[in-house]
């Protein structure tokens, strides 16, 4: 293997509480019912716009309302995205070992680009990841393969030399659509069955277990 691509939320970082607090703040500003943190496990994964759509009542899911609430979310989240968020245990050590073994590392997230880059820079510093990509205007969100294809093009890695590590059905589908090997992690936001049902080739329970699949 030459390249490992990681999802961000639920894979590298446990960010659920900050996402939930920020979404509830935006909902509250517009007079909508809030949700308990655990409910957000099934709302995140497809980007902020889809998160807000899922959080709103069905009769409020108009494009204009979604974008108004989304703007409040982004404004609040941008100042609070690191209140409770932290790397999962073992992730910093895994990344260090992968770099030591000469692998290229990348991030492919459906979180908006500015937040993705800021979180990576804050928690992992510069120089760990060759490519850090979030959701950007004009680029389809995962599970569309565009973001992975861009990473492959930038790094020069081939599909057969790439692992994609994530915690949700979106991630497994992204890997399959991209022709790279999907690895599902059980410490994230979604259950193991969802990962298996959506094509995970490997399931890992601890970050260090990923090392078994990179070869020598």
Q: Select which of 7, 18, 167, 171 is catalytic.
A: 7
Quote the tokens at residue 70. 């989304």
Q: Distance of CA 170 to CAs 17, 123, 201, Å?
A: 20, 24, 14
Beta strands in the chain (DSSP E): 3-6, 13-14, 86-87, 104-112, 131-135, 162-166, 181-185, 202-204
Rounded-to-integer distance, Cα 136 and Cα 127, Å: 22
**C-beta separation of 72 from 80 below 8 A:** no
Buried b (16+ CB within 10 A) or exposed e, 84-110: ebebbeebbebbeebeeeebbbbbbbb
Q: Which residues pair with 202 in a beta bridge?
A: 183
Rounded-to-integer distance, Cα 75 and Cα 62, Å: 20
Whether residue 83 lies in the annotated active site: no
> Active-site residue numbers?
7
């Amino acid at each position: 293997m030459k390249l490992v691509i990681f999802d961000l939320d639920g894979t590298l970082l446990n960010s659920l509480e900050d996402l939930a607090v920020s979404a509830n703040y935006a909902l509250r500003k517009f007079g909508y019912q809030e949700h308990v943190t655990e409910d957000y496990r099934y709302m995140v994964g497809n980007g902020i716009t889809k998160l807000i759509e899922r959080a709103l009542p069905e009769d409020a899911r108009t494009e204009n309302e979604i974008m108004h609430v989304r703007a409040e979310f982004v404004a609040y989240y941008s100042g609070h995205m690191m209140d409770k968020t932290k790397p999962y245990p073992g992730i910093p050590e895994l990344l260090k070992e992968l770099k030591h073994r000469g692998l290229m590392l990348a991030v492919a997230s459906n979180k908006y680009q500015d937040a993705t880059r800021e979180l990576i820079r804050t928690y992992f510093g510069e120089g760990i990841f060759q490519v850090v990509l979030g959701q950007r205007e004009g680029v389809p969100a995962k599970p569309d393969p565009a973001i992975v294809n861009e990473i492959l093009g930038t790094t020069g890695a081939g599909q057969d030399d790439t692992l994609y590590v994530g915690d949700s059905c979106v991630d497994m589908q992204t890997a399959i659509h991209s022709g790279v090997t999907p690895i599902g992690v059980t410490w994230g936001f979604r259950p193991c069955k969802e990962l298996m049902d959506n094509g995970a080739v490997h399931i890992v329970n601890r970050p260090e277990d990923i090392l078994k699949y990179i070869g020598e």
